[in-house]
Each structure stands twice: as C-alpha cells, then as structure tokens.
Amino acid sequence: MPTEPLPELAPDFVPFATAALDFHQAINMPVAPIAAGRAELDSLHAHVVALYGLLEAHTVRTTPVARAEGDHLRACRIRLWQAAEHLHAAFHAAPNPGSGRLPSREACRSRLPEGAPELTVCQRHLATAARVRRDHTPADLHDPFTGLTRH
C-alpha cells in the first residue's frame, strides 16, 4: 500500500536541546557532591514534562500506522511521567532557598503548595497530571513492566 511522502520538516531542534543539556552539565555541575537545588529541580521537571509532551505527539501520530513502535513510545511516556513525579517530590524535599532548612515531615506529607515561585512546579505538574490521567490507567502508571518483551 503506497503511503504519502512525509512533509518537509523544519530543522530538527532536538539535537540542539540535547547539546544544551550536555553543555549545562559540563559547565554547571560541581565536581564535589552537592544536592541539586530547587531551581535546578524545577528546570529538570520542566524539561521532562516538555519531553513527555513531545513523545505524546509522536505516540499519537505513530500508533495508528506502527502499533509496536507506538506501544514502545507509550511505555516511554509512562516512564517519563514517573520521572516527573520523582522530580516533583525531590523539589518539595529540597531545602527552602530562603532559610536553607529542610521541610518538616508534616510539610512533606501535606503536599500543600508553598506559594510563588514554588507554585509553578506544582501548576505544571498538575496540568500534566490531568493529561496523564486521561491517557493512562492507574495500573499503567504503577506497573513495573516496561513492555519491552511484548514485541
């Protein structure tokens, strides 16, 4: 069955994003062991959520024409969401920038937003969580099975 040729694509910016991450790591990561700060965790969360969105677009386009490939992309999206969940939790477990104090166990358990600018990570996370709940079942999100042996 003949398929239509792919449209002319814009220049691929993903390699530039990858190079920027490599450059960021090379110049900003200290050699000494030090915990990531809230700003870094927020940036990483934003990056992972953006990558989730990019893979969502690829998954939606790919699955109807290449089911196995689409299934792998879907599994990748689930793992990215799990990474975003951990980054969000790490952000709230990190020391507060003003006081340098770690949040109390009660503050961590309450999961209440801490106000601006800390609220932005929560807003991004909640907006993406709504998409995730629409596209994935709770069993998908908590399943340790990666799907790599299905095909």
Domain that residue 105 falls in = 35-142
Query: Would you state the pLDDT for residue 64?
Result: 95
Residue whose structure tokens are 């990019």: 54
- Mean pLDDT of all residues in 121-139: 88
Q: Is residue 18 part of a domain?
A: no
Report pTM. 0.80
Q: Is residue 150 part of a domain?
A: no
Residue closest to 92 by CA, chosen among 74, 107, 79, 77:
107
- CA of 97: how far to CAs of 47, 57, 60, 143, in Å? 21, 36, 40, 35
Q: Is residue 20 part of a domain?
A: no
Q: Is residue 1 part of a domain?
A: no
Q: Is residue 2 part of a domain?
A: no
Query: pLDDT tens digits for 27-84?
Result: 988 888 888 888 899 999 999 999 999 999 999 999 999 999 999 999 899 999 999 9
**Which residues make Cβ contacts (< 8 Å) with residue 103, sequence separation at least 6?**
92, 93, 96
Q: How far apart are the first and last CA of the chain?
A: 23
**What is the tally of structural domains in the chain?**
1
Q: Is residue 79 part of a domain?
A: yes
Query: pLDDT tens digits for 96-110?
Result: 777 777 666 665 555
